A and B are shown apart, each in its own frame.
Chain A
Amino acid sequence: MRLVEKLFIQGLIVVVILIVIQAWLSSVQGSFMNYLPPIGFAILLAVTYFVQPLIVGATNIALINSMHKTRGWQVGIWLNGLFLFLAFTTLNLVLKITFSLPFLPTIAVIDLLLSFPFGCLARFSNGGWTKPID
């Protein structure tokens, strides 16, 4: 695969994961809030800012290692995931505020169209080592 294709696939996978989690969280936000308040709210925060970045960060470094034949990581998995999550939500917020767009389907489609630049960002935000690290 060419580098451009790798970056596009990496961006596409990360963006799809972020869209799915975002859509799921939006749909179950009320249920979380109403589950044994305030425990549900704490769980919602934990899922949003801890579990979600872990999933995204782990996926990103796994993609980098498998597509670029590297090992390990330069940036911690949670921090890397948080960075991609914040980049994604910041873009969505700007689109939502500036153009009054709904997340589904409009902003989600725009996110998918931006898979390649997002792949570049994801690749830039972490990396592995080309030699054994131990």
Chain B
Amino acid sequence: MSKLASNLFQGLVRFTNKSLVKNLIVITLCVLFFFIQIFYPYNFYASAHRNTDSDFQVGIHYVYEQDNLSMIYGQVTQIYELGFKVIRINFQCNPLVYDDQINQKTDMLFSATSHYGLAVALVIPNDETSANVNYYLGRWGGNLTYVQIMNEPETSSSWDVGALFTDDEIISTFNNLYATVESHNLNVQLYTNFGIGFVLRSNIPIDLSQKLNFVGLDIYMNSFLVLSPLFIQNLQQITHKDVVITEFGMSTADSAAQTNYIISGLNLFKSMGLKGCWIVYWNSDLDNYGIRGTPTATAVGDWIAQNAK
């Protein structure tokens, strides 16, 4: 029996020692290692609920400018009752008319968020002027907890569709907006969010993060959700800053698919020990990202009740 085993082993060694076979084995193992590196992090974090006691902050982007003035307070109440801790908003104001409708809506929003103690994250767009930012922060800056300086700068257009910002444009625009925000001496945390494209322009997050409290990462589509642990760890490694998922959502009319995607992501990000995840959007007239009034909102509320402090 032992002779048979020995013969088999020696035959196997002789077979694998052939150059062609050895090359095929090495190439096959290379492919296997590649797939392990791609899929193992997601499978590990998604299959096990880690960091069960860690703080995890679930937020949502509320496009309040699309709602009537009379609806806003009630919507913030609903968001609060579902357990969200952060409301992310667009930069909306009219510096020229004090009582303009949009200014009234912004007043109403901050009135509600102050009442419920919700943190507010303001998104300052890439093309916003310092004058407008000064007006906004002078009037409502005290209500803010987070200020986002620029939105996915590494992928944004400068002068026309498809014309990417150059590095110089990004950094000078960022510095202008940063100086404007800093001049108000607000008690806020600053961040900039990046899309998946940051891996091709990693110098941007490395440069900008030096002045930021944390960095954001925006995750869309299942494929990038699967790859997100690699992107998150890379972003943490190059910036040495905490990463918060600042945009996470799916535009679909299929509520079951949307719920599954968002809950999978929340489980993954909490399992990875991240500080938080902000969902896009609460409401959205132009696409199907909005979760308001859908089973997804209920499912996210239930998830928060069970998982997020």
Q: List chain A positions with a Cβ less than 8 A from chain B.
A: 26, 29-30, 33-34, 37-38, 40-41, 74-76, 79-80, 82-83, 86-87, 89-90, 93-94, 97-98, 124-127
Residue of B34, B167, B207 touching A86 (CB-CB under 8 A): B34
A59 nearest CB across to chain B (Å): 16
Asked, given contacts A33-B206, A94-B36, whether A83 binds B26 with beta carbons under 8 Å apart, the answer is yes
**How far apart are the CA atoms of A82 and B41 in the complex, in Å?**
21
Q: Which of B15-23, B100-108, B143-151, B244-252 contacts A (4 or more CB under 8 A)?
A: B15-23
A74 contacts which chain B residues (CB < 8 A)? 17, 19, 22-23
**How far apart are the CA atoms of A94 and B39 in the complex, in Å?**
11
A29, A41, A86 pick with most chain B CB within 10 angstroms? A86
Besides the known contacts A97-B44, A125-B26, 7 further A-B residue pairs in the complex with CB atoms under 8 A apart: A29-B238, A76-B23, A79-B30, A87-B29, A90-B33, A127-B17, A127-B22
Residue B37 at the A interface, CB < 8 A?
A: yes
**How far apart are the CA atoms of A27 and B200 in the complex, in Å?**
19
Residue of B17, B33, B45 touching A87 (CB-CB under 8 A): B33
B33 contacts which chain A residues (CB < 8 A)? 83, 86-87, 89-90
17 contacts between A and B (CB under 8 A): A26-B237, A33-B203, A33-B206, A33-B238, A41-B202, A75-B23, A76-B23, A86-B29, A87-B33, A90-B33, A90-B36, A90-B37, A94-B36, A97-B44, A98-B44, A125-B22, A125-B26
Which residues 29-67 of B sit at the A interface, judged by CB distance below 8 A?
A: 29-30, 33-34, 36-37, 40-41, 44-45
A-B pair number, CB within 8 angstroms: 71
Minimum-distance CB pairs A-B, first 10: A86-B33, A74-B19, A37-B203, A90-B33, A33-B202, A33-B203, A83-B26, A34-B203, A74-B22, A90-B36
Q: Is the CB of B23 within 8 A of A83?
A: no
Residue B27 at the A interface, CB < 8 A?
A: yes
Which residues 237-259 of B sit at the A interface, judged by CB distance below 8 A?
A: 237-238
Residue B201 at the A interface, CB < 8 A?
A: yes
A38, A41, A83, A97 pick with most chain B CB within 10 angstroms? A97
Which secondary structure characterizes the binding site on chain A?
helix
Residue of chain A at shortest CB distance from B26:
A83
Q: Is the CB of A41 within 8 A of B40?
A: no
**How far apart are the CA atoms of A121 and B56 in the complex, in Å?**
43
**How far apart are the CA atoms of A30 and B238 in the complex, in Å?**
7
**How far apart are the CA atoms of A80 and B25 in the complex, in Å?**
11
Residue of A38, A40, A80, A89 touching B26 (CB-CB under 8 A): A80
B19 contacts which chain A residues (CB < 8 A)? 74-75
Q: Is the CB of A93 within 8 A of B41?
A: yes
Flag B178-209 by CB within 8 Å of A: 1 or 0 each: 00000000000000000000001111001100
**How far apart are the CA atoms of A75 and B24 in the complex, in Å?**
9
Q: Is the CB of B206 within 8 A of A97?
A: no
Q: Is the CB of B22 within 8 A of A82?
A: no
B229 contacts which chain A residues (CB < 8 A)? 97
**How far apart are the CA atoms of A87 and B34 in the complex, in Å?**
9
A97 contacts which chain B residues (CB < 8 A)? 40-41, 44-45, 229
**How far apart are the CA atoms of A86 and B206 in the complex, in Å?**
26
Asked, given contacts A86-B34, A93-B41, whether A37 binds B23 with beta carbons under 8 Å apart, the answer is no
